[in-house]
Structure 1
Amino acid sequence: MTNKRAFIPPELAHELVKNIRLLALSGKKNFRQYLYDPLVYAGWERDKAHLAASTGKLMDKIQEDSADPAYQHAIALHCKRLISQGLTEGFSALGDSCIFFLDKMQEEPNLAASNEATDFVLAVEKSLKDFAKITSDTNEKKFEESIQSLSIEDMKSAFDPVRLDGTRKKVYLETELHTLYQQVLVATKSNNLAKCKKLLSRYIITYNESENYNKSEVETLLIALDKRENGFRQNLWDSLAIEIYYSVTRGIMEGNAKKAILGIRKYAYIFEGDPNAKFYYEIDALERKLYGIIQTKDLMKDLRKGM
């Protein structure tokens, strides 16, 4: 049995969010078994007579109250009511409510240490990780089957270097990164760090293979942030691994082998074979299957021509 935690680490909340998103892709039967039922069993279901606002209105209210220190003490209780309402409204509302609660835990350390947060994770962590393990095991076979049927053109496309254009999105992202870098140096609130982690994750995942990727600025940011919050760097790398592994797993579940291969390559590029990286062994198993098929079909020469 999983022991109750005293605090929910951001990387765990992030991982559970991704597991819920994958669970939603797998169908209603799994959603009930691995999320709905564990919450009902743990007593999160409330009498309908005690439920009022919809999950959408409750999320708006919580978001509004989060900005007011006078209401901070009530956020955890409102989040618990949100989950209870989600159980009543249906699977879609429940999934959105759980993700909202877990996202808020990543943004607000006080909420992550609340009884409501630790009770919630105690109720769902084991079942969601059981689902993730089952999915990982079955996905190896699915991935092998999907790449067996992948055309050489699609395989070449998946192995192409990432080329980025000068879109407004890129300009906006780099401008936001620079602005946030200045803010982080003087910031005192932890929610700035949560925002910075998300921004850095997007920046690294999107541009890490591009010549425009500013590795030195990223390193400068990480040094500064690690001094302000011990463990920030490791938390960021864990988040990157979770994000990429989710992309790979989703690609396999959707039958999109190209998307899965792109994620595997990106993971390898960022983590450079570090066996201590989160999901290293899961990605390594998929990568071995990929290159095993490439060698069996003698595709390496063709792939190198397209790179």
Structure 2
Amino acid sequence: MMNQRTTIPADLALELIKTIRVLALAGKKNFNKYLYESLVYGGWERDKAHLATTASRLMDKIQEDLKDPAYEKTIPHQCKRLISQAIAESLSALGDSCIFFLEHIREIPLLAKSEEAREFVFIIERPLKTFAKETAETNEKRFEDSIQTLSLDEMKEAFDTVRLDGTRKKVYLEKTIHNLYQQVLLATKSNNLSRCKKLLSQYILTYHETETYNKAEVETLLNALDKREEGFRKNIWDSLAIEIYYSVTRGILEGNAKKAIQGIRKYAYIFEGDPDSKFYFEIDGLERKLYKIIQDKDMMKNLRKA
């Protein structure tokens, strides 16, 4: 409930961002039903006669004001005004503005604690989670249908891991990973935990399956950062689960079976069958369907050789 939540968790904000992005793929009718109407009924619509700007200009102004501490306390109200403007403007503007607000809720603790942020999330959370639940239920059938038609070569391609063909590619990848990891360390030393979360998530998500991924160092960093900010480790893993799950969802909705399969495998690789992981049961259901079809089509031996 709104009055029971004192702040908006970063992982919830991310989950809502991803759901809005998926909602945008589901058509105008769904966007109206699960986001636009919720905000209108929640009282966030303003009289069009009082609107004298655009959502994009308001976002630019908020970005500028964020640089000046003197405007810090005005940001929540400006974000609410932004949503009101976007409601009157267009569905596209509304989606962009909601994501903008949620992204800043993730990054700015003061904004996450504001009355405006808590009210905003209170209004949109239930309908968006309803949409996400309904999408998950229909996606299992969509996914099953899409992988039924995959040939062995297409399945091999979906199962293909990062291949380092040639010294040049390997050196380039190792250098890229090293540079990103150094950025993580710099963010850690400067105590920029928000940036550290982003970079560390990017590092784990992108390079977890490569030979040069430094698992031991990641664990050391996570343990150290968890002492600085309680819940840091959980927030990282929840964020990763959200990123992967919505990548899978998007792949299914777009009819991109390869993308969905790669996401499922990445999730399995990172979370190693931990049932306490966020979206474990949703991914597990899709994974079971995937391997059943692979077995039914007698592809397993060939995929193991790939």
User: Relative to 1, partners in 2 of residues 1:296 and 1:172: Cα closer, same or farther, differing over 3 Å?
Assistant: closer
1:245 and 1:279 in contact (8 A); partners too: yes
Kindly provide the amino acid, as one letter, of the partner of residue 242 in structure 2: I
1:14 and 1:242 in contact (8 A); partners too: yes
Cα distance in structure 2, aligned partners of 1:162 and 1:168: 13
- Aligned residue in 1 for 2:48: 48
2:187 and 2:196 in contact (8 A); partners too: no
Cα distance in structure 2, aligned partners of 1:132 and 1:259: 19
Cα distance in structure 1, aligned partners of 2:242 and 2:174: 23
- Aligned residue in 2 for 1:26: 26
**TM-score normalised per structure 2:** 0.94
Shift of 1:68: 1.3
Cα distance in structure 2, aligned partners of 1:107 and 1:46: 27
Kindly provide the amino acid, as one letter, of the partner of residue 212 in structure 1: T
Secondary structure, in 3 states, of the residue corresponding to 2:65? helix
1:143 and 1:252 in contact (8 A); partners too: yes
Structure 2 residue aligned with 1:182, among 160, 181, 186? 186
**TM-score normalised per structure 1:** 0.94
Kindly provide the amino acid, as one letter, of the partner of residue 135 in structure 1: T
Shift of 1:170: 6.9
> Where do 1:215-230 residues align within 5 Å?
215-230=215-230
1:13 and 1:106 in contact (8 A); partners too: yes
Provide Cα deviations, 1:70-122, integer angstroms capped at 9, x if missing partner: 11000000000000011011010000000000000000011001000000001
Cα distance in structure 2, aligned partners of 1:2 and 1:241: 25
Provide Cα deviations, 1:157-188, integer angstroms capped at 9, x if missing partner: 1112223535878745632431341342342x
Kindly provide the amino acid, as one letter, of the partner of residue 110 in structure 2: N
Cα distance in structure 2, aligned partners of 1:96 and 1:155: 35
Shift of 1:225: 1.2
1:4 and 1:122 in contact (8 A); partners too: no
Where structure 2 has 5 or more consecutive residues not aligned to the other structure, the ranges are: none
1:106 and 1:112 in contact (8 A); partners too: yes
> Percentage identity across aligned positions?
65
- Aligned residue in 1 for 2:285: 285
User: Relative to 1, partners in 2 of residues 1:181 and 1:82: Cα closer, same or farther, differing over 3 Å?
Assistant: same
- Aligned residue in 1 for 2:107: 107
Cα distance in structure 1, aligned partners of 2:261 and 2:104: 32
Kindly provide the amino acid, as one letter, of the partner of residue 105 in structure 1: I
Cα distance in structure 1, aligned partners of 2:110 and 2:186: 25
Q: Would you say how many aligned residue pairs link Structure 1 and Structure 2? A: 302
- Aligned residue in 1 for 2:199: 199
Q: Which range is displaced more, 17-26 or 202-211?
A: 202-211
Shift of 1:297: 1.2
Cα distance in structure 2, aligned partners of 1:77 and 1:2: 17
- Aligned residue in 1 for 2:213: 213
Q: Which range is displaced more, 222-231 or 176-185?
A: 176-185
Shift of 1:49: 2.2
Q: Which range is displaced more, 85-94 or 210-219?
A: 210-219
Cα distance in structure 1, aligned partners of 2:109 and 2:156: 44
